[in-house]
Structure 1
């Protein structure tokens, strides 16, 4: 479920991907997982979520040749 800071819901879904166009602003994403076996859910505590989105304009980012970088 995706909602804004005023708790207005913009999108809701299930396991199937769905496209949602959102106006500029800050949003909250809530993900609920259910399963009969609690052990499966315990393994998902460190779940990583990937959000893919297209940028409207180019973004310049510095690149370093090593991990010892000073900004």
Structure 2
């Protein structure tokens, strides 16, 4: 399932904005990163983040897998 690309500067208002935010949220909730959504949509990180926030997404913590025990070298 691909994200509908938007050209830079395209204004999203009203129902179109709500639908696009829901589309991005569905992808984010299926373990896509904000950066991958940014690349697919053609919009900035801030724009994607803002729409995800408007859609009520619970954001994952930053970073990769955290180690529970210190590594032994």
TM-score (normalizing by structure 2): 0.31
Q: Which has the higher contact order (CA 8 A, sep 6+)?
A: 2
Tell me which protein shows more strand as a share of its residues: 1
Q: Larger Cα Rg: Structure 1 or Structure 2?
A: 1
